[in-house]
Amino acid sequence: MNLQETIAELTPSLLEMRRDFHRHPELGFQEVRTSARLAEFLEGLGLEVTRGVAQTGVVARLKGARPGKTVLVRADIDALPIQEESGVPYSSQTPGVMHACGHDGHAAIAAHVAAVLARYRDRLEGEVRFAFQPAEEIVSGARPMVEAGVLEGVDCVVGLHLYSLMPAGKVGVRPGPSMAAADAFTIHLRGRGAHAAMPHEGVDTVLMASQIVVALQSLVSRETDPVATAVITIATVSAGEGAHNIIPETAELKGTLRTFDAGLREKLIRRIGELSKGIAQAMGGSAEVTWLPGSPAVVNDPQMVERFRQVARQVVGEEAVLEVPPVMGGDDMSEFLNRRPGVYFWLGAGDPDPRKNRPHHHPAFWIDDERSLPLGTELMTRAVLDFLR
Ligand code: NI
The yes-or-no verdict on residue 376 having pLDDT over 70 is yes
What average pLDDT is seen over the chain? 97
Determine the average pLDDT of the residues in 266-282.
98
Sequence-distant (6+) residues with CB within 8 A of 291 are 183, 184, 185, 269
DSSP, residue by residue, 308-320: HHHHHHHHH-GGG
Determine the average pLDDT of the residues in 124-148.
96
CA 344 to ligand 1 centroid distance, Å: 12
The yes-or-no verdict on residue 183 having pLDDT over 80 is yes
CA–CA separation, 252 and 288 (whole Å): 10
CA–CA separation, 35 and 59 (whole Å): 10
Q: What is the CA radius of gyration of the chain?
A: 23
What pLDDT does 105 receive?
Answer: 98
Taking phi over 0 as left and psi of -120 to 50 as alpha, with beta for the rest, 102 belongs to left
CA 52 to ligand 1 centroid distance, Å: 21
Range 36-44, long-range pairs (CB < 8 A, 24+ positions): 38/77, 38/107, 38/111, 38/132, 41/17, 41/111, 41/115, 42/111, 42/114, 42/130
HSE-CB at 329 with a 13 A cutoff on CA atoms is 14
CA 169 to ligand 1 centroid distance, Å: 19
What pLDDT does 1 receive?
Answer: 60
Q: Are residues 358 and 371 in the same domain?
A: yes
Give per-residue pLDDT as tens, 96-109.
999 999 999 999 99
Which CATH number belongs to the domain containing residue 203 in this structure? Answer: 3.30.70.360
CA 161 to ligand 1 centroid distance, Å: 7
Q: Are residues 95 and 39 in the same domain?
A: yes
Residue 292's pLDDT band, with cuts at 50, 70 and 90, is confident
Spacing of C-alpha 78 from chain mean position: 10
Which CATH number belongs to the domain containing residue 24 in this structure? Answer: 3.40.630.10
Determine the average pLDDT of the residues in 263-291.
97
The yes-or-no verdict on residue 187 having pLDDT over 70 is yes
Give per-residue pLDDT as tens, 148-158.
999 999 999 99
Q: Are residues 174 and 276 in the same domain?
A: no
- Angle (nearest 5°) at CA 129 between 123 and 132: 140
State the burial class of residue 14 (Cβ atoms within 10 Å of its Cβ: 0-12, 13-18, 19+): buried
CA 95 to ligand 1 centroid distance, Å: 20
Q: What is the DSSP letter of 81?
A: S
Q: Are residues 173 and 209 in the same domain?
A: no
Give per-residue pLDDT as tens, 46-71.
999 999 999 999 999 999 999 999 99
CA–CA separation, 388 and 66 (whole Å): 12
Global pTM value: 0.88
Sequence-distant (6+) residues with CB within 8 A of 284 are 191, 192, 203
Q: Are residues 277 and 302 in the same domain?
A: no
CA 162 to ligand 1 centroid distance, Å: 8
CA 50 to ligand 1 centroid distance, Å: 24
The neighbourhood of ligand 1, an ion, using CB within 5 A, equals 101
CA–CA separation, 307 and 140 (whole Å): 30
CA 264 to ligand 1 centroid distance, Å: 25
Q: Are residues 153 and 301 in the same domain?
A: yes
Q: Give helix 205-223 / helix 262-282 axis angle, nearest 10°.
A: 150
Q: Are 191 and 205 spatial neighbours (Cβ–Cβ below 8 Å)?
A: yes
Catalytic residue positions, numbered: 78, 136
Quote the percentage of the chain above a pLDDT of 90. 97
Structural domains of the chain, count: 2
Q: Are 103 and 43 spatial neighbours (Cβ–Cβ below 8 Å)?
A: no
Q: Are 100 and 363 spatial neighbours (Cβ–Cβ below 8 Å)?
A: yes
Q: Are residues 243 and 376 in the same domain?
A: no
Quote the percentage of the chain above a pLDDT of 70. 100
**Among residues 292, 323, 348, which one ends one of the domains?**
292
Q: Are residues 310 and 270 in the same domain?
A: no
CA 125 to ligand 1 centroid distance, Å: 31
Q: Are residues 113 and 20 in the same domain?
A: yes
The yes-or-no verdict on residue 212 having pLDDT over 70 is yes
**Among residues 292, 317, 337, which one ends one of the domains?**
292
What pLDDT does 294 receive?
Answer: 86
Q: Are residues 146 and 188 in the same domain?
A: no
Altogether, the residues listed in the chain come to a count of 389
What pLDDT does 293 receive?
Answer: 75
CA–CA separation, 339 and 144 (whole Å): 14
CB atoms within 10 A of CB 271: 17
Q: Are residues 220 and 170 in the same domain?
A: no
Q: Are residues 239 and 324 in the same domain?
A: no
Structural domain boundaries, residue 375? 3-179+297-388
CA 266 to ligand 1 centroid distance, Å: 25
Determine the average pLDDT of the residues in 193-200.
97
**Among residues 265, 292, 319, which one ends one of the domains?**
292
Sequence-distant (6+) residues with CB within 8 A of 190 are 205, 249, 250, 280, 285, 286, 287, 288
